[in-house]
Amino acid sequence: MPIRPVDLKKATGDASSIYEAIVVMSRRARQINDELKDSLHRRLETVASLSEEGEGEVTNFDQLEISREFDRFPKPTFLALDEMLDGELTFRYRESTSA
């Protein structure tokens, strides 16, 4: 895993502090991770349904190729950091419902 120096003032983006920015980026990284995981499961389900039809060993190679493809994706934390640095990441606070 390469080490990338980051200017902390740029990394905060629209956040008021670095701590707020880290929370925003971590939540975005979690969203990205969930999206990737859902995509992986959908693709593996199609391969699994083909194996149930009797194609056997060929699907194992398909599963391996899909897994290798997902391993090559950048880490969700890097993607979230890049979104924050590029100004693509926006956030808002929930409205308080207390009376």
pLDDT reported for residue 33 = 95
Regarding pTM above 0.85, the answer is: no
Is residue 24 assigned to a domain?
yes
Burial 15-53 (b: 16+ CB within 10 A, else e): beeeeebbebbeebbeebeeeeeeeeeebbeebeeeeee
Is residue 96 assigned to a domain?
no
Mean pLDDT of 59-69: 77
Per-residue pLDDT for 99 more than 60? no
Is residue 36 assigned to a domain?
yes
Is residue 62 assigned to a domain?
yes
Is residue 91 assigned to a domain?
no
User: Distance between CA atoms of 6 and 59, rounded to whole angstroms?
Assistant: 42
User: Distance between CA atoms of 96 and 99, rounded to whole angstroms?
Assistant: 9
Domain of 58 in residue numbering reads as 13-85
Is residue 27 assigned to a domain?
yes
| 21-61: pLDDT as tens digits | 899 999 999 999 999 999 988 888 877 776 666 555 555 67
Mean pLDDT of the chain: 82
| 72-91: pLDDT as tens digits | 889 999 999 999 989 888 88
pLDDT reported for residue 93 = 81
Helix (H) and strand (E) counts in the chain: 4, 0
Please give the tally of structural domains in the chain.
1
Structure-token match 């880290």, residue found = 22
Is residue 56 assigned to a domain?
yes
